[in-house]
Structure 1
């Protein structure tokens, strides 16, 4: 989802990874913010609920929040504010990845709040970090990974080297994760929960790509939990939506590998 162009994905939390073709698990060059052409901020009317036209990358979904439509900027200046926030190392094992969180200017999202949300996600006992898959630390500089929250149009530009996000999806690129503002704010119609919970799926999916889960997974069976590495925005195939790689009891939620 979730640059990795993954099924959803992806906590504004951590930033960065590389993958050439999300489907093949290759790696691509990092996309720098300076490569994003500046454009005036545009406001959309209430976002329609429709599936992504080309769900090549990682997850995202469109729509409105609750009964009140949400207005999200379609594009912005392509400049980002880095969260002035730092935290302790979380995780029980694996390589340490220092990440910083950046939010596109004019998006209406606080960089500090986004960083706090992502740190909370990575610190959860159901997360990758809690099960020895890696250690993570929120920093303001000298980061190994950059997690950017960008407007849909600039997400497409930043993710172009790894796939077509179609204004709907998130991705993982060399050195970071790109989170589509639309997905961060409105969530996904495929996810049974509020947009705030869908953010967990975004972050966990894209971080999963970052730590080595390059292939997507499919539903393991009707009524079972969907793997976090499944492109849930494209449909659940009988599974129950799920935003975490592990259950509360520590069981890894897996499924058949998608070629």
Structure 2
């Protein structure tokens, strides 16, 4: 009986030792999270419409990898799938008709991209707050501009048609095309690691803003919202992140003009 008791105690001690090892291992294995790396326009070369975003800052290249599992091909066929359906008119005046397309081979649905673009252009803090801009998404018929989500190589090729160099990394607005780089759509920038969806609205507002004729501005003052037409990738210069052209009171969020 005594030997059985001693054997049982020894087994219990061994189990406790193993259990203690498991408890110590779990937290160390669970530690560590990753954040997406970073990446809106450089001056418009003469004779072009819109502008590309600048090269991503050094902070972007040193940022941790994105946890996203979305494939990020560098190139695609250059052909597109049109998002089906359409939207109601938003804003006052004659609506600008636009189409949303996604390059074939990208594993993001055109419907999802179209929904994001629609929400952005319909938001009361968007360009409709100017009192005369209006938008309507269509999937057929004539359009005023097209929003295209594409691989870096395709964006480069399209933007180069207007004399713009997007370097495989950034977006542009040229020849009635709002070209959205897949990497920026998925990875955002260092300033929007916690708000990738918000950054997508900034892409749309910035590049559609160029289509509407708006140029670049800079930070109006420390602690103020960064204007949507500011090249925020170059740094916020004391401003705080913001993706909307107007505030909730209908005031334009802008700053001193820059080249």
TM-score normalised to structure 1 length: 0.75
Q: CA deviation at 1:96?
A: 2.1
In structure 1, stretches of 5+ residues that fail to align are: 1-6, 10-21, 31-55
What SS does the aligned partner of 2:74 have?
A: strand
Contact 2:82 2:110 survives alignment (8 Å): yes
Q: CA deviation at 1:126?
A: 0.4
Q: Which residue of 1 aligns with 2:32?
A: none
| Aligned equivalents of 1:171, 1:88: Cα separation in 2 | 26
Q: Which residue of 2 aligns with 1:223?
A: 223
Radius of gyration: which is bigger? 2
Q: CA deviation at 1:132?
A: 1.6
Q: Which residue of 2 aligns with 1:241?
A: 241
Q: Which residue of 2 aligns with 1:28?
A: 48
1:165-189 per-position Cα deviation (integer Å, ceiling 9, x unaligned): 1111100111221010111111111
1:85-112 per-position Cα deviation (integer Å, ceiling 9, x unaligned): 201110124x421000010011111111
Q: CA deviation at 1:78?
A: 1.1
| Aligned equivalents of 1:104, 1:200: Cα separation in 2 | 19
Q: Which residue of 1 aligns with 2:52?
A: 57
What SS does the aligned partner of 1:75 have?
A: coil
Q: Which residue of 1 aligns with 2:25?
A: none
| Aligned equivalents of 2:224, 2:103: Cα separation in 1 | 37
Q: Which residue of 1 aligns with 2:170?
A: 169
For 1:143-182, list aligned pairs within 5 A.
143-160=143-160, 161-182=162-183
Cα distance change, pair 244–193 in 1 and its aligned pair in 2 (3 A): farther
Q: Which residue of 2 aligns with 1:116?
A: 115
Contact 2:53 2:231 survives alignment (8 Å): yes
Higher relative contact order (CA 8 A, sep 6+): 1
Q: Which residue of 1 aligns with 2:40?
A: 8
Q: CA deviation at 1:133?
A: 4.1
Q: Which residue of 2 aligns with 1:140?
A: 139
What SS does the aligned partner of 1:74 have?
A: coil
In structure 2, stretches of 5+ residues that fail to align are: 1-38
Contact 1:197 1:243 survives alignment (8 Å): yes
Contact 2:44 2:52 survives alignment (8 Å): no
Q: Which residue of 2 aligns with 1:201?
A: 202
Root-mean-square deviation (Å):
2.5
Q: Which residue of 2 aligns with 1:19?
A: none
Aligned pairs, how many? 214
Cα distance change, pair 68–169 in 1 and its aligned pair in 2 (3 A): closer
Contact 2:66 2:187 survives alignment (8 Å): no
Q: CA deviation at 1:58?
A: 2.5
- Once structures 1 and 2 are overlaid, which stretch shifts more, 64-73 or 165-174? 64-73
| Aligned equivalents of 1:165, 1:198: Cα separation in 2 | 18
Cα distance change, pair 159–109 in 1 and its aligned pair in 2 (3 A): same
